Amino acid sequence: MLVAREELKTLMKNKFVAAGLSEEHAEQTAEVLTWSSERGLHSHGEVRVEYYTERIAKGGITHDPQWTWEQTGPCSGMLDGDNGCGYPFAIKGLEYAMQMAKENGIGVVGVRRVSHTGALGYYTEMAAKNDLCLLTMCQSDPMVIPYGGAEPFYGTNPIAFGAPTADDRFVNFDMATTVQAWGKILDAKSAGRSIPDTWAVDVDGRPVTDPHMVNALVAIAGPKGYGLMMMVDILSGVLLGVPAGKNVSSMYHDLSEGRDLGHLHIVIDPARFAGLDAFKQHMSEVLDELSAVKPGPNADKVYYPGERALIRKAACDAAGGIEIVDSIYDYLTSDKLYINSWDHKNRFAE
């Protein structure tokens, strides 16, 4: 059903407040989820609300986190979130990093001991709107085999990059380091479809086409994706002194426990390099040149990273709201905090 943007945001916020989150943290979390939903990223939007609400209510997200900030150098700092809600602390850490970048050209902030921080594209767009470039990354729980292995070790470990232009466009690149997301395999399961043998492996590490046989996902481009997910894990885990690799906490194992996750922001001020105006103008020219590239077979044009998401957002704006599943709307408008759907599940929420 179609739900107005602000109604959806308010319904999500109300659930988080009812579960024990502060008004401020509930507001920020609901805003990022709404941002994701209106761009068609529903797996990082309203779909997540019941899971978060259950974790908040059970104490796995600290209601009143005693967070700390330590600036460790002119361009570096560490924000410890005391296992609070990940979204507000990812935002707060980025604000610190942007301030340092404006003052010194670069800002690198580690956000540690937080819960899940959602779609990274929100943060890269936030930086781009402030005329800054951002490279950001975070850990996730093990569900991917390392190249040559047969059992999960790393998470999908996403990485994102954003940059401003001289107009209202933003480059906004956000990707997981796996060939395909688990949600696509779930879709295949529910529809009774097979999957390509490049997406996942069974318990022996063999490629599978039956989605019911999936034990782990595989990295993009073999050893290259494996190297990328290792890099993300080192920079957002080992570097920040939180559990890493196969020791990253499960999203679903015990919702009463904090997750101790890490997230790293690297902010660069283009003004300290080519100059802000020159950088933004050049970026706009690059996007125009990409748009002018002859499209390949079965393509209508070359899209810059983030463009399709903005097209989907524009469609939501034109329609007057965001299309969501009826059952999720029924839950959001109900008196139920959660339906006990997620606790003590495996890495695939089963």
Would you please indicate which residues are annotated as catalytic (active-site) residues?
116
Closest CA to 86 of 10, 29, 17: 29
Residue 146, both tokens: 């390392």
Which residues in 32-144 belong to E strands, given as ranges? 68-73, 76-84, 106-114, 133-138
Show the tokens assigned to 241.
């002194």
- The helix/strand/coil state of 80 is strand
d(CA 234, CA 30): 29
Measured in degrees and rounded to the nearest 5, phi and psi for residue 239 equal: -60, -30
Among the listed residues 137, 133, 73, the one whose alpha carbon sits nearest the alpha carbon of residue 104:
73
Amino acid found at 142: P
Could you give phi then psi for residue 287, rounded to 5 degrees?
A: -65, -40
For residue 6, give every residue at least 6 positions away whose Cβ sits within 8 Å of its Cβ, in sequence order, or none. Answer: none
